[in-house]
């Protein structure tokens, strides 16, 4: 049943993104920022964590999940370090995900053979 709810919630997030692309004049970059900020705001109030408990990877993997991760990192860092945590918390929370993305992007670049445009 967990897999079904993850699929439904993750799919609903994707449907919202597709509707924003189709029905508005927002660029994909602005929609990306909108999703991250929405996840950050919902995570700041503690609401997104409830969705993650319910839907698992269906809520934690998409872009709002990244915003939620940033909000959690800032909350934790503020509790530990005070005001300095506002600046450092997001970076600490996202470091693992960004590192993995850079490493696998680099490995993909090594394996593939790009072709130059003419």
Contact 77, 92 (CB under 8 A): yes
pTM: 0.76
pLDDT per residue as tens digits for the range 90-106: 888 888 888 998 999 99
On the question of pLDDT at 88 being above 80, the answer is yes
The average confidence (pLDDT) of the chain is 89
- What is the arithmetic mean of pLDDT over 79-83? 89
Which tokens is 39 given? 């996840």
Residue 9 pLDDT level (bands cut at 50, 70, 90) = very high
Contact 10, 55 (CB under 8 A): yes
Best CA proximity match to 32, nearest among 67, 68, 73, 71: 67
Q: Can you give the pLDDT at residue 93? A: 86
On the question of pLDDT at 24 being above 90, the answer is yes
């Amino acid at each position: 049943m967990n897999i079904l709810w993850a699929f439904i919630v993750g799919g609903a997030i994707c449907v919202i993104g597709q509707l924003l692309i189709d029905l508005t004049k927002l660029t994909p970059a602005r929609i990306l920022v909108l999703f991250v900020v929405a996840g950050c705001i919902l995570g700041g109030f503690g609401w997104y964590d409830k969705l993650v408990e319910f839907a698992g990877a269906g809520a934690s993997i998409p872009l709002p999940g990244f915003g939620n991760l940033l909000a959690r990192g800032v909350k934790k860092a503020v509790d530990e370090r005070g005001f300095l945590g506002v600046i450092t918390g997001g970076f600490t929370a996202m470091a693992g995900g960004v590192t993995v993305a850079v490493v696998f992007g680099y490995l993909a670049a090594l394996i593939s053979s790009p072709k130059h445009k003419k």
